[in-house]
Amino acid sequence: MGEQAPLPASRGAFIPPVVWDDDPESDGFTPVSLHREPARWHALVDADEPVVTQVADGEPGGDARTPTSSCSKPSLVAEMLDALDLRPGLRVLEIGTGTGWNAALLRDRVGPHGQVTSVEIDPGLAARARDVLAATGRDVDVITGDGAAGHPSGAPYDRVIATASARTVPRAWIEQTRVGGLVLLPWGTGYGEDALTRLEVRPDGSATGRCGTRLSFMRLRQQRRHRLEPDEDELRAARRSSTALRGPELYEVVEFSRAAFTIGLRVPHCHLTVEDRDERHRDVELHDRRTGSWARVGMIRDEHPWPVLQLGPRELWNEVEAAHAWWRDAGRPTPDRCTLTVHPDGTHRISTGRHRWPLEL
């Protein structure tokens, strides 16, 4: 009798018995146990939404406001797998095993003659994924290690897919992919959300491709975004001004499909956060931990102009206003008009058609 084919890779089989749900009271996450709250657990897992499976890197007593691993939204997973153009027999490298569900789907698509290698930096997550994949009949080589380094002993790969976002595309991913192969990842700057980006590896060792769908993935650990929280003394000493931008323009500044993605390409090392303090007050903040620079625009409904506070050597809000003006004058390019090229020396260059420039990452 031949080997029995594995059952379809149901997401629920890969999700741990404790997941994390939004907790409005703490502005963080609260645990949801399959054993204590089965209906709530299943509602989270069965929805077409991401499920947070780890907070604070799994450290007991860590900051439950910080999600550090998740199982992605099923419809988005399907879109990424389609973009990867998988076929039977291909060799695939996955960066970020997480629950192992995506690796199982990859394995099913490349078939018995294909190969899937998945790298996970968290030893506990890697061990659990390895066990679940084996239990569901998926032959996936799960490696515990830093995914930014890829897995050179299994190269060359036909496809590399990252389930963590990156600001700088690691050279290892390109070097370990055959010429004509694809590297698919959520890519973007520190500012705002990322774009699903598919790079094709060229004979000269570069990789190039168009940016696309909006994504919100957790970052590679060594490339995580960080925010600054000025204390009261720093706020009192902040430089004060106001912005002439009004509501529609502020929307463009923070919205991925408008100016936000391009602003990130023009203003390096700048992390954007938006927080609604109540129904009338919204804070748009900019953070650069490298230089200790910070800015806040305090939006107040039915009032204008809005106050601006800035700290540190960079005038971050001035830089963002200038980038917004550039975006407007350049014809309001959308993310899908942006092409990223990563050169063999590691230089990242962006093109919007008429305009090209190197990125400071």
The residues carrying an active-site annotation are: 72
Q: What are 152's two structure tokens?
A: 């050179």
b/e 60-73 (16+ beta carbons within 10 angstroms → b): eeeebeebbbbbbb
Q: Residue 195 in contact with residue 335, Cβ under 8 Å?
A: yes
CA dihedral 89, 91, 96, 100 (to 10 degrees): 30
Q: What are 95's two structure tokens?
A: 């960066």
